[in-house]
C-alpha cells in the first residue's frame, strides 16, 4: 500500500495561505490523507445539525471544523523538532 507523506502532521502549527480563510492560523487536529485535507483548530467552522438522541432529546446544532486542502496551508511551528538539512556537527 502506498503511504502518502505531507509537509504537516497532527499537532503542527499552520497558517492558511489561500482561500476564504487566508491569514488564519491554528493547530492541526487531523490529517485526511486520502482527500489530501486537514482540519485546523478554529478555522472554517461549519454548523451541523444533529438528530434527536438520548444525549440531545431535542436535537442540536453543533459547530465543528471543516476540512481545508493541504496545499492551502503552510507550516509555522512543527510539534516534533525534526531536522531539516545540515550536518551533525
Global pTM value: 0.78
pLDDT tens string, the chain, 89 residues long: the values are: 678 889 999 999 999 999 999 999 999 999 999 999 999 999 999 999 999 999 999 999 999 999 999 999 999 988 776 555 655 55
Q: What are phi and psi of 26, to 5 degrees?
A: 180, -175
Edge-to-edge strand list for the sheet holding 67-69: 67-69, 37-40, 25-32, 13-16, 73-77
Amino acid at each position: 500500500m502506498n503511504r502518502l507523506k505531507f509537509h504537516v502532521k497532527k499537532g503542527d502549527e499552520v497558517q492558511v495561505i489561500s482561500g476564504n480563510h487566508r491569514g488564519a492560523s491554528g493547530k492541526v487536529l487531523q490529517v485526511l490523507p486520502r482527500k489530501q485535507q486537514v482540519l485546523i483548530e478554529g478555522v472554517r467552522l461549519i454548523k451541523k445539525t444533529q438528530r434527536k438522541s438520548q444525549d440531545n432529546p431535542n436535537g442540536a446544532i453543533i459547530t465543528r471544523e471543516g476540512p481545508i486542502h493541504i496545499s492551502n496551508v503552510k507550516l509555522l511551528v512543527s510539534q516534533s523538532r525534526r531536522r531539516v538539512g545540515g550536518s551533525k556537527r
